Amino acid sequence: MEIKSITKDNFPEAMEIYRQGLETQIATFQNDTPIWEDWDKGHLNFCRISIFDNNKMLGWTALTPVSSRCVYAGVAEVSIYIAKEERGKGIGKIVLTELIRQSEENGIWTLQSGIFAENESSIKLHEKCGFRIVGYREKIGKKNGVWKDNVLMERRSKTIGID
């Protein structure tokens, strides 16, 4: 397996995996895949991580800033998506662990995730990678007319921002 950056060239593969996540109805409030320009603008320019096996993308993860305020410069929100046929094989742990490593190299001290309460596999994955549940947002938004609850998780670096 090989870790690669998500680029405009392999973005269509990432969006196919994202589309598979959309189909689950428990991965995101979004209903459509974005175009490259919008995705590129919305994500940090580092930690755009994908994993390949024999030139096939198996999954990806990326970060979005949580605020434009400078005090939150070291806080980012995690997106992680694994190809349907690769789920449950440890791919998520590999890319999330790599995301943690690269995020700390880039000065990120807190990673956060908002996960649909029924997405138990994502919650468990985050816990395996050192995230903890810090809150629960009841009926925070609707997905196709259905109210969804969000579990708030975060991972605080033990090496960055500890002064």
What are the boundaries of each domain within the chain? 2-112
pLDDT confidence of residue 163: 81
**How confident is residue 19, by pLDDT bands cut at 50, 70 and 90?**
very high
What is the percent of the chain with per-residue pLDDT over 90, rounded to a whole number? 98
pLDDT confidence of residue 149: 96
pLDDT confidence of residue 48: 98
pLDDT confidence of residue 72: 92
pLDDT confidence of residue 8: 98
**How confident is residue 129, by pLDDT bands cut at 50, 70 and 90?**
very high
CA distances 26 to 31, 57, 72, Å, are: 11, 21, 28
Determine contact, residues 111/78, Cβ cutoff 8 Å: yes
Residue 131 has pLDDT above 90, yes or no: yes
Confidence (pTM): 0.94
Q: Which CATH architecture has domain 2-112?
A: 3-Layer(aba) Sandwich (3.40)
**How confident is residue 43, by pLDDT bands cut at 50, 70 and 90?**
very high
Total residues belonging to the chain: 163
pLDDT confidence of residue 159: 94
The chain-wide mean pLDDT, for the chain, equals 96
Residue 162 has pLDDT above 90, yes or no: no
pLDDT confidence of residue 90: 96
As given in the structure block, the two tokens for residue 77 are: 């929100």
pLDDT confidence of residue 107: 96
Residue 27 has pLDDT above 90, yes or no: yes
pLDDT confidence of residue 81: 98
**Exposure class string for 145-157: b at 16+ Cβ within 10 A, else e:** eeebebbbbbbbb
